[in-house]
Chain A
Amino acid sequence: MENKEDIRLMKGNEAFAEAGIQAGCDAYFGYPITPQSEVLEYLSREVPKRSGVVLQAESEVAAINMIYGAAGAGARVMTSSSSPGISLMQEGLSYIAAAELPCLLLNINRGGPGLGTIQPSQGDYFQATKGGGHGDYYLIVLAPSSVQEMADFVFLGFELADKYRNPVMMLSDGAIGQMMEKVIFRKRDVKKIKKPWATTGKTKDRARNIITSLFIKPEKMEEVNNKLKEKYEEINKNEVRYQEILTEDAEYLLVAYGLSARISHKTVELAREQGYKVGLLRPITLYPFPSKRIYELSQNLKGAMTLEMNSGQMVEDVRLAVEGKIPVHYYGRMGGIIPSPDEALEQLEIFIKQNN
């Protein structure tokens, strides 16, 4: 049996780590934090048996700057953390975005603000999708909703990072990071592109390469800002990804990502049993956001509702997308509490009744 599939039962965090190795990640730099420490632990165990570099940094601040250096040297690199640690990485991410360095990072979102709770949350939506650090930039943000996607999006993430020379974030949560599911590792051709801009030593045949985010002259800075802006427009044109469930005849649309999307899927089933024509749109890319598709769908909708594990963040983007055409309701739980499909249905019913 040559083409036997590699099927494993794994935690989301482990699937991310394993996929990193299989995707040819040259280096991982990270710092322990619950609920994502399995990534660093898995890699510390596996990388020495295979190939690559894994290094436990002295802080997330150091880790993200090691990522900067290694990515600038042309390597395929990734890191992971959870909310408080991701906050510490924001300065570095801003520099990475400005210097246009490709890299992959994972945020296993936990409840906050502050030290918060180690339970799952989607409270970092704004931080992830609106830049996060200082200045004018965006990350490409992928939202896995299963352990399988925790693996698959690593390959996709590296590809997008290289293609656009942009940091890519996988925004997940403590539940998906911690739960165990079946995950299939397909044999893949891992492509690595040439990086002639990398600082690998100035050979005689080229001018020196400089990785910098400093553009002191306003004219130059604006030129760079415009270049980045064009890149983000390209990304918005080409890379929007989403999944639709029962949207064809839907009168009401649930919009949810990651873990909330799994719950919403069940809510859709329950609603349909009750006779409500409800569909689900699950954004797979949170940046770029599937605004256009949501607008298209809104033409035939009576209303939309987001289900979020935060105080209502993505709902703002859905409202922007529908341009006031339909009412957009939000329901969510916070503090690490996961909403149930039934309570989401209850809220949906109230919304539908008020709306009719």
Chain B
Amino acid sequence: MSDKDLLSKDKNIEEMVLESPQGDKIPEDYQLVYEKPTTLTDTRFHYCPGCGHSTVHKLLGEVFQELDIQENTIGVAPVGCSVFAYDYLDIDMQEAAHGRATAVATGIKRMLPDKYVFTYQGDGDLAAIGTAETIHTINRGEAILIVFINNAVYGMTSGQMAPTTLPGMKTTTSPYGRDISLVGSPMKMCELIAPLPGAFYVTRQSVHTAGNVRKTKKALINGFKYQKYRKGTSFVEIISNCPSNWKMTPLQSNKFIETDMLEYYPLGDVKVPSREEIKELDAKEGNK
């Protein structure tokens, strides 16, 4: 999705409501196995086919619905392919300047400490132009959730090198492959921020297989739930694909995650509160 595509993408965005061939009625011999979360709008996603952003949006919708927090959640959209997140998530949202999402979220959370606040940011947004805000927000332990979509490129501006681009990986601004002797190594943000005392929950997940999607959902649920303890920041990195700029089919891009991305960015929890700690915090919450 380039800037240019974005311009044309929503010519008739309001009209582009998906219609089921059956209409609203479900025939009696059908069994309902999946429904679109009620917390997503009917606006069609503008993301490229197979893009991880779509999957994570859907998960967020499910989490809002399952935790019943639609009325109490405020999101912050970044500058990046997900700049229009507020078109799809049916919650109050603010659109931040490039890299400033966590500063904006700090302003919101300080004013509305009882609400659930999250940012949704790409790797350019969070780990390049917004590095200072990212680190300081977490260092202050703002009780927000940071959803970090690591797709190893600048998606929106058509595939330039990101701070997370793999060594040797070709992008439009590293046409001969990322040369780490010249531009440094890709940044492992989870490992970088986990030592900060303000980081409460730090995990790296991915959305390239059904099983990983389920795990990512669990992590997002934790990230929202933990906000009520006011113990620090939750940071959920999600390894995601950008088939368009990786010049791959969606399937190939999922394979690339498995074979290349996960080798550099191992999945799993980097920092988690212990069961005992959670029990104690829950007990405290219950006593309130």
A→B interface (CB under 8 Å): 26-27, 29, 53, 55, 57-59, 61-63, 65-75, 77, 91-92, 95, 99, 199-204, 208-214, 216-217
Contact = CB atoms under 8 A, between A and B. Distances in A.
Interface in B73-120: 73-74, 76-77, 83-84, 86, 90-97, 100, 103-108, 110-112, 115
B107 A29 contact: yes
A213 B100 CA distance: 14
B71 interface: yes
B95 to A, nearest CB: 4
A157 B229 CA distance: 37
B172 interface: no
Contacts of A69: 76, 94, 96, 103-108, 111
Counting chain B residues whose Cβ lies within 8 A of the other chain, the interface size class is: 35 or more
Contact of A202 (B84, B90, B132): B90
Contact of A214 (B83, B103, B105, B107): B83
B7 interface: yes
A74 B71 contact: no
B107 to A, nearest CB: 3
B132 A214 contact: no
Contacts of B108: 69-70, 72-73, 199
Contact of B100 (A29, A53, A65, A70): A65
14 contacts: A27-B111, A63-B103, A65-B96, A69-B103, A72-B104, A73-B112, A77-B107, A99-B95, A199-B94, A200-B115, A201-B112, A210-B92, A214-B83, A216-B6
A29 B112 CA distance: 15
A201 B71 contact: yes
B71 A66 contact: no
Given A77-B107, A92-B97, A95-B97, 4 more contacts: A69-B108, A95-B96, A208-B91, A216-B7
Nearest to A96: B97
B42 interface: no
A198 to B, nearest CB: 8
B6 A65 contact: no
B253 to A, nearest CB: 26
A200 B97 CA distance: 20
Contacts of A200: 74, 92, 112, 115
Ranked 8 nearest A-B pairs via Cβ: A69-B107, A70-B107, A65-B103, A69-B104, A199-B92, A212-B95, A66-B107, A65-B100
A77 B106 CA distance: 13
Contact of A70 (B73, B76, B84, B110): B110
Contacts of A203: 71
Contacts of B112: 73, 200-201
A61 B97 CA distance: 10
Nearest to B75: A199
A73 B107 contact: yes
A202 B111 contact: no
